[in-house]
Structure 1
């Protein structure tokens, strides 16, 4: 049987008659019905940024959906990236369109004059909060601009010369009026290399028995011409750019991946990629050299030259060998730190310690100093005042996470375990340490005046609901003191602690009828000041009925979902509704953790882009995100019983809807995006609970992702039965309900190539199923253009009206 299934995978459509291969039809973009079509053109609420010194509040305007003509502009796809060859920036970039500034607490703001149709990106505050640097994308390149916040005036510092194809192009220097260090396009670079009209020869790859398994990446190098394009577009130079616009080149052109500035501003950490390149992994795995430069651009110290990392094991806790995560300590003037794997980077081998953390101080001519060893994989460090830092380690297989308080400058001091838990256990989450600008402007731990306590800000998930909090943690006895917690019929979260005594806070508060606005709280006086006053952009949804609901699976696991009902709906008077369940499963190792309630109830929820909540306007009920936990306790792997647990979760959700009176069970649809699309196809194949399905940008044949997917770390050859059983493509003959497949034609997400939808469509068509496949030109894994988003919503409404509501 296994051999027959493998043959089906390799030759899935060979037996289909030629008459089944009907050509695709070219359609025009369609718009969804009102009021959806009008809602799509409403601009979203602005984004907010508060200055590091908490004196200024900036609002950034955002536009509604971009036109397809913008997304369809030519791009170059190389080494796992997509870039715009005209601008030397990312392709299909997102951006802000305007800026306004005001002092914190003021009611009136000043709009900043910028060129028409501004495309604002790469926002970075100066360390003294006097300036905001940003880039402005023009038709022929990327400019560096700076906003003088107090004067409310912005000016360009460069022409269109920055290289923004990979990462942040500019970093502030910390000194007053010192300016920035940026990656700029090499001078006199000429035209990009032309693609040969005649192939120079075959492309040959080989492997000499070395294990080098990788997950399924997209947009990789595929030819020598791609290699030439990589060297052309990724080549850049470092330049010092003053606030007067004076430009000083610091080094020769190279393939600069990133540059960071030491806290004291005297040193630069530069990382550059180099040959040999790879056709199997993205640029982040290429050989990379880390060097320390002085302010004149001279190489002072080569820290490490890492080889090609195309052989990192696929297990989630496996990492690249050698130094990784190289950064500057935030609490020291010029000290680097990094981690190195002690288990050769292989999570599958037994080891007493997984990582060691080292530091190296300027002038970088001594030996690195080891400051800590982790028993799990090192995940990060939050620095304090030299006498304290908090280190985090975690391990995916056991879902374990630990936080340690340590004294980095006192090697003999034993670390103190602050917390240990399942990282999916929201009820036990103590919160994240609060930070503030340190002596060098970088974020460091906020300590109280006595330096014996830190602060923790958490989500506050509990069986009673989700109520964010702020705690003080006493380091002497690890006792916590609750300083503030959200309450009432709104949802608030701390965004800034303004003083070391934690008596003044900034919170963001929202409710079902009020968008997120910012408030300054004085805890001692029990007073508050309104900082923003945003209005509801889509007031139609103010009366939507939203409820967090809980119900049980047959095996006793408690499930959660968000139920949305149209305004004014009364089940006693209006009867049942056609209903869509929009799903996305998750793997767990503990059934109690899988049963937790982690959803805040009193949030402001408005649809955007292609949200299924738009269907409420058409008379549908929506059960959003019904939890479908796939649990594997002990040595059991969750996916070994994926289908059984998936169907059981869906049955529990349907039973709840029927018992509640929302549905009669005969007008139900299932849908999802990405892994939710995979779930949708599986539920149609292995149950008869639904009358139709919508699957967007999914993967359906797991043999096309043979080295792991989602939470599955085993490869296909280790567990072929699991891969085949989980693949709805293998069970395509069982999908006897109508299925709408939608996919971005340029999907660059790992594992969800458009061929996944193409092949499932061909299989269902060849087997006589009812299926429609919509391929969206120029769209990626998510859909962004006004035309595509409108069309997707039109397709969904039409499909559900015909196959669920029964109106077509």
Structure 2
């Protein structure tokens, strides 16, 4: 085939496929949920490892055991899909991601102290979730989801006894963050308004057509799901999302409301109240009309307001318009990212664009930080200008400084400054690529203020504590550094041993440090380190001892053009020496601006083996070899990196296969490739443009890029600016070239931007209509990821059966041909 023909192929196929009717899906007999092999089912049903939470006063340790999966019955409960949100109408909440099964408390530093079992009262449909501490650690909060209410429960740390807050029905449709604390006794939550009446009823028929219009202004929008479609949708959304700010006293359990209900999306506390009630305020954001039928709720107009502690309006800070007629990577021109100081000064800070919000406009300074001091009657003053786009502002616990971070999107680069809050010039502290692993300086450790619970950066003695994964070519070795704000010197305080994986968590007085330590044979546990050695604070048990027989190895190599690559080689427990078996390569493409960061290794051979939820690694128990986290670097200028996507994923696949063959354990004649989301997109493209694999598994992917015309993943150009790229990267248009069997799996309610279920539906129809071998699994009630026990088990069964069908029995070797 000539180069000219290759360039024309997407256009010819597009014309062909648009002209022909898609083949109807081949009807299948109804299929009940299938169970994976007993070995895989046992892994899926094993209890999850416990999670730990340390109280802010560092006196109490909470051990939290969570449920791994939801049930189909839970997913099938009545929900509304409005304005990009999904929530249950009965409880005014989303389905909890990981309900709490058991909760225990004990003294932090005494592992032999008796544990206090917290009784979680059962009720029909009840699920406890969202554990959090009060600022002083004397109380804790839990939420309980019921069929017709969402409750706030208050626990006593000393006794473990709990009680519900009286007459409080939470509404977390819009505001799902941790509660805001006025002080250690009073917490602010959002609740269902009193006497709100009944939900608006649907009209008997449409009152007229739904109309949208664009009047000559550029308004590129990503593809979103669950958007509003009618005035009735708007009324329903407003009815269920409107909430009241409510103050709850954790000592008495009593509550009182603050002001009128509104569509509150955020509430935070400004100031610590050290100067009396008039020195502490509330910063709130609420949605305002007009709503949009093309954008989700977080792009609606909003009003940012400063309120007194009793909810009365002090000053309107900003009116943020509907985000429309803007480039995908543009920002609004007015105040954004408004936040309040957590200290006694109670100042407000926000960011304003200096480039009109347009990232393509050449300008010396792109953003500026503004400050407004009490009593908030004057004009805000400029504090700092930044050459690149604002990313975040973190306050230091010294009350005098903050960490200001910006991002240079053209270089995929980030820089952090030390910003004196008094208004003097900032100083750069560190900068690096957004994809940097080896030179990553670490993330500053934070603590909660005992007064209002606000999170601030630890900065004792003029030093930051920076914790990082410590990535190296041989795997990660987590570290803790002291970073001097005076001379920028770095002192290593701690680094994990080479044969373990130990993560620094919390510094204590006297140079002591709490870490979380694990090894290939020891589950994660908390450890207390001092100057003389270490001692275990917890003794978690191994929930899956059968996994200790599995072997894994970090394998590093180079692509043909010299780019460093790697994968994790996982070997089934019954693999014999000298035996070759079929393998699944599981990968996800990632874009890099340069070769140096593209080949950097993440992960560690010293982690404790535990398979979280739905994982391709479960296939090890069915006898297959798995090459997981296989690097798929796409290297190039961020603006045009996708121009060579096909060539680079092909080169990546070839390099992986060649290295796997050299290892002597993988039967490269029986290889499958798979991935989730963008990994599914990669899988379909590899099958369309190469003959390297015998089969593919694609979960929740997007295959027709004309359905995501205003960008996808790292692609910044729209379809009309890079037409050939969009068409060439659409495996849907190359369906006749996909000769290998392709298993398509998708949640029928996938609401992830760009990966609507129609992507898999049309891909299946294209393959079926052009003679391909394919199977399409649509999972009821599931979204972009799969959460129900039934769904996860069935997907594991489908994947195993697909590999067994097209790669053969992994435990039955194929004869090797003579040399």
Give TM class, smaller chain: over 0.9
Distance 2:58 2:96 in 1: 33
Q: Which residue of 2 aligns with 1:387?
A: 400
Q: Does the CA contact (< 8 Å) of 2:135 and 2:449 recur in 1?
A: no
- Please report how far the alpha carbon of residue 444 of structure 1 lies from its aligned counterpart in structure 2 after TM superposition: 2.5
- Counterpart position of 2:377: 365
Matched, 1:469 2:469: no
Corresponding residue number in structure 2 for 1:102? 106
* 1:515 maps to 2:523: yes
Structure 1 residue aligned with 2:156, among 121, 131, 148? 148
**Aligned residue in 2 for 1:199:** 206
Which residue pairs with 2:547 in the alignment?
A: 541
- 2:274 is the alignment partner of 1:274: no
Following superposition of structure 1 onto structure 2, how do residues 611-626 of structure 1 map, counting pairs within 5 Å? Answer: 611-626=615-630
For the residue of structure 1 that corresponds to 2:724, the secondary structure is helix
Contact 1:548 1:560 in 2 (8 A): yes
Aligned counterpart for 1:286 among listed residues 256, 281, 300: 300
User: Residue 401 of structure 1: which of 410, 414, 438 is its match?
Assistant: 414
User: How much has 1:258 moved relative to structure 2?
Assistant: 1.7
Q: CA deviation at 1:123?
A: 2.8
Displacement after TM superposition at 1:13 (Å): 6.2
The match for 1:488 is 498
Q: Check conservation: 2:550, 2:572, Cα contact below 8 A.
A: yes
1: CA distance between counterparts of 2:96 and 2:430? 42
Pair 1:731–1:17, CA change in 2 (3 A): closer
Q: Does 1:228 align with 2:241?
A: no
Unaligned runs of 5+ in 2: 274-279, 813-819
**3-state SS of 2:391 partner:** strand
For the residues of structure 2 that align with 1:5 and 1:489, how far apart are their CA atoms? 51
Alignment check: 8 A CA contact 2:583 2:667 kept: no
In 1, Cα distance between the equivalents of 2:181 and 2:574? 57
The TM-score normalised by the length of structure 2 is 0.93
Query: Does the 8 A contact of 2:557 with 2:659 survive in 1?
Result: yes
The within-5 A match list for 1:740-751 is 740-751=743-754
Shift of 1:568: 4.8
CA distance in 2, matches of 1:311, 1:159: 44
Instruction: Give the 3-state SS of the residue equivalent to 2:524 in structure 1.
Output: strand
Counterpart in the other structure of 2:44: 40
Separation in 2, partners of 1:3, 1:655: 31
Q: Does 1:755 align with 2:758?
A: yes
Match of 2:697 among 694, 697, 700: 694
Find 1:603's aligned residue among 587, 595, 607: 607
Which of the numbers 245, 253, 256 marks the counterpart of 1:245? 253
CA contact (8 A) 1:183 1:238 kept: yes
1:16-95 aligned at under 5 Å gives the runs 16=21, 21-91=25-95, 93-95=97-99
| Native 8 Å contact 1:680 1:695 kept in 2 | yes
Match of residue 708, structure 1, among 699, 707, 711: 711
- Partners of 2:571 and 2:649 in 1: CA distance: 24
Please give the secondary structure, in 1, of the residue aligned with 2:498: coil
Structure 1: runs of 5 or more not aligned: none
Distance 1:282 1:692 in 2: 37
Closer/same/farther in 2, CA of residues 437 and 462 from structure 1, 3 Å limit: same
Deviation for aligned residue 1:497: 1.6
- Give the distance between the partners of 1:482 and 1:387, measured in 2 at CA: 25
Relative to structure 1, the CA distance from residue 704 to residue 636 in structure 2 (aligned partners, 3 Å threshold; closer, same or farther) is closer
CA distance in 2, matches of 1:760, 1:529: 55
Q: Is the 8 A contact 1:66 1:785 kept in 2?
A: yes
CA distance in 2, matches of 1:176, 1:92: 26
Task: Quote the Cα distance in structure 2 between the aligned partners of 1:53 and 1:235.
Answer: 35
Contact persistence 1:512–1:602 (CA under 8 A): yes
DSSP-derived class of the 1:248 partner:
strand
Query: Which stretch of the first structure deviates more once superposed, 749-758 or 505-514?
Result: 505-514
Contact map agreement 1:516 1:604 (CA 8 A) in 2: yes
1:783 aligns with 2:786: yes
Task: Assess, with a 3 A threshold, how the Cα gap between structure 1 residues 201 and 530 changes in structure 2: closer, same or farther.
Answer: same
Pairwise CA distance, 1:163: 0.7
- Residue among 584, 590, 595 paired with 1:580: 584
> CA offset at residue 752 of structure 1?
0.3
Q: Give yes or no for the alignment of 1:530 onto 2:540.
A: no
Aligned to 2:214, what secondary structure does the other structure show?
A: coil
Is 1:798 equivalent to 2:805 in the alignment? no
Instruction: Summarize the alignment of residues 423-502 of structure 1 with structure 2, pairs less than 5 Å apart.
Output: 423-438=434-449, 440=451, 441-448=453-460, 451-499=461-509
2:182–2:188 CA contact under 8 A, matched in 1: no
Aligned match for 1:644, one of 636, 647, 651 = 647
Shift of residue 72 of structure 1? 1.1
Task: Go from structure 1 to structure 2 and tell me whether the alpha carbon gap of 1:628 and 1:66 turns closer, same or farther (over 3 Å shift).
Answer: same
Contact 1:214 1:314 in 2 (8 A): yes
Q: Deviations over 1:204-258 (max 9, x none)?
A: 1001011111111111111111101111101111122223232222111221112
Per-residue Cα deviation, 1:466-520 (whole angstroms, up to 9, x for no partner): 2111111222321111111111311011111224x7x211111111122211111
- What CA distance in whole angstroms lies between the structure 1 residues aligned with 2:560 and 2:203? 62
CA distance in 1, matches of 2:12, 2:139: 63
User: Cα RMSD over matched residues?
Assistant: 2.0
Aligned counterparts of 1:653 and 1:332: Cα–Cα separation in 2: 57
Contact 1:702 1:727 in 2 (8 A): yes
Counterpart of 2:17 (choices 9, 12, 15) is 12
In structure 1, what is the Cα distance between the partners aligned to 2:195 and 2:13?
55
